[in-house]
Amino acid sequence: MKKANWIIFGVITVFYIAAMAMPFINIFCVSMPDFLPIAVALVLLMFIIVGWKNGKAKTAVRIVNVCIGIFAIMICLAGEYLNPWWNSISEHPNSYTFLNYNEKISGKDAIADIDYAMKYVRKIHPLCYKGMPDGVEKQYQDVVDYLKGKDEVEVAEVQAELQSILSQFHDGHTSAAIWNDDSYLYLNEWYKHEIAGDQIIAINGIGVDNIYDEKLNLYSADSKEYGYARFCNDVTDLSALTMLGYNADDGITYTFLKPSGEKTDETYYTKDYVTYDQYCRYNNLDETEESDEEDPFVYYTIDTDRSLATLTLNSCNYNQEYRNCLKSMFTEIQDKNIQNVAVDLRNNGGGASAVVNEFIRYLNVDTYRGMGSKVRYGCFYVNANEGICKNKKYNDLTFKGNVYVLTSVYTYSSAMDFAMYIKDNNMGKIIGQASGNNPSSYGDISQIYLKNSGLVMSVSIKKWYRIDPQKDGELIEPDFECSPGDEFEKLYSIIDTKKQ
């Protein structure tokens, strides 16, 4: 082969490799225009045709060129059309500009963002596999019609309009959020009321329950209880209040119910909502703020009097720190002959489901049932059932005592999965309140950036199924129900009763 042909062959080869690398570059480095894979595929096709018509090249070389070219085209196009993480910013979130909640964009740009969001929802959400549900499509059209009449809108309003569409999926993992850190503005005096035990029972004279019922369509949630819990957190955050339609410039009046039963009204304005740093300084919480940043996501305590080890897991991070903590705890359990283990998941919003598999390795079970699921890959909907899982036990540290899991409405996603694995496989008992989301629900997300508003939309790509099919559609209900805050009291009572 002549030198010129070698150069051409080298250029084509590099282009093929770059085309096949595109999906991975997109996932881990940078988002790309949706037309780019098609444009690249057309160029590759041209290379294939030109290469085949090159009579000076050997037939074997031309066949290899065609095969590699077709394979590169398939990888390139599959990267966009079958890959649910195409243009997800999960792995490179620092490359984008996130607007503040009160910044304004044109109504036209807002519609463009809504259209772009719905394009990805149609493409990757399992519920849209056979087409957009009627209720979602109608709300989408209503939102577009509304925005056509707006010259400009605040980012918080765009979020609210998009949420009114996404909430129709009843999927807590599919939602729109403001990622600008300066948008989180907290009521400066809330800490004073919180430590006093005050409850917010009304805003501007309207009961919070009535407000939530009216604004329910702005919350993506598997259960009404979880949506309400998120709403209660939002009512002291200015950006969320703006999304809910409140204007702090005019004043927002809270009605507080004190532990004594007394009711008081207090009115706050925009200046009273501050950043987190300002909130900490206002309430002399600078040292607390610093210590909070250093708090581990996982730790354990041992109560030898009750023969109890308590693992507190506030985030499902499957890493070496978690594995080391488990090993240390079960080693100490064995050394001290501890008979009860409790896992506190009350403030755990999820993460990696592998944390429960690692935990089970310390339990005295040989096999257990895993979750069923189906994953959306564009036009394909693929089963991914775990079936019966063989437990790779740590035989030298196997625990044969009692297992308890503490849950609340904030026990969500992979934390809920943790509780389900224990409950549905009869490995232990649940104490507290029902989980925040349904085991038979949607999850595993792709995060899409909306360039005009700077919002980030999370979209589920997978449908999960509960381990125990007889409980399909049910939340993880506790075996021992109690009020929030009473979980350990209930746990101690159960342990003490078993001693008798």
Share of the chain above pLDDT 90, in %: 86
What's the mean per-residue pLDDT of the chain?
A: 93
**pLDDT tens digits, residue range 403-445?**
999 999 999 999 999 999 999 999 999 999 999 999 999 999 9
CA 272 to chain centre: 30
3-state helix, strand, coil in the chain (%, to 5): 45, 20, 30
In the predicted model, is pLDDT for residue 49 greater than 90? no
Interatomic CA distance for residues 342 and 428, integer angstroms: 9
404 exposed, middle or buried (CB, 10 Å; 0-12, 13-18, 19+)? buried
Which residue from 468, 454, 500 is spatially nearest to 159, judged by alpha carbons? 454
- Classify strands 340-344 and 402-407 as parallel, antiparallel or unpaired: parallel
Residue 76 has pLDDT above 60, yes or no: yes
pLDDT digits (tens, 9 = 90+) for 369-403: 999 999 999 999 999 887 899 999 999 999 999 99
- How sure is the predictor about 280, in pLDDT bands with cuts at 50, 70 and 90? very high
Best CA proximity match to 359, nearest among 428, 286, 412, 418: 418
List the beta strands (DSSP E) in 148-275.
152-154, 175-178, 186-187, 199-203, 206-207, 252-257, 263-268, 273-274
- Give yes or no for a contact between 465 and 445, defined as CB atoms under 8 angstroms apart: no
Q: Tokens at residue 409, please?
A: 């409405």
Cα 4 vs. chain centroid, distance in angstroms? Answer: 53
The answer to whether residue 15 scores a pLDDT higher than 90 is no
Q: Please, what is the Cα angle at 428 between 363 and 462, to 5 degrees?
A: 85
Give residue 10's pLDDT band: very low, low, confident or very high (50, 70, 90). confident
Query: According to the model, what pLDDT value does residue 291 have?
Result: 45
pLDDT interval class at 306 (50, 70, 90): very high
Distances (CA, A) of 68 to 12, 54, 77: 10, 16, 14
pLDDT of residue 292: 47
The reported pLDDT for the residue numbered 294 is 61
How do residues 187-239 score in pLDDT, each as one tens digit? 999 999 999 999 999 999 999 999 999 999 999 998 888 999 999 999 999 99
Q: Is the pLDDT of residue 289 over 50?
A: no
Phi, psi of 397 (to 5 degrees): -130, 25
* pLDDT tens, position by position, 111-139: 999 999 999 999 999 999 999 988 899 99
pLDDT bracket for residue 290 (50, 70, 90): very low
Average pLDDT over residues 319-328: 97
Per-residue pLDDT tens digits for 252-279: 999 999 999 999 999 999 999 999 999 9
Task: Give the three-state DSSP class for 391.
Answer: coil
pLDDT in tens, 349-374: 999 999 999 999 999 999 999 999 99
Helix (H, G, I), strand (E, B) or coil at 153: strand
Look up the pTM and report it.
0.89
DSSP strand E in 270-397: where? Answer: 273-274, 298-303, 308-313, 340-344, 367-369, 372-377, 380-383, 388-390
Using CA of residue 205, residue 209, residue 215, residue 219, what is the dihedral sign?
Answer: positive
Confidence of residue 2 (pLDDT cuts 50, 70, 90): low
pLDDT over 80 at 500, yes or no: no
Residue 293 pLDDT > 60:
no
- Tens-digit pLDDT profile for residues 91-109: 999 889 999 999 999 999 9
Choice between 51 and 196, residue whose per-residue pLDDT is larger: 196
Sign of CA dihedral 284, 287, 293, 298: negative
pLDDT at 72 over 80: yes
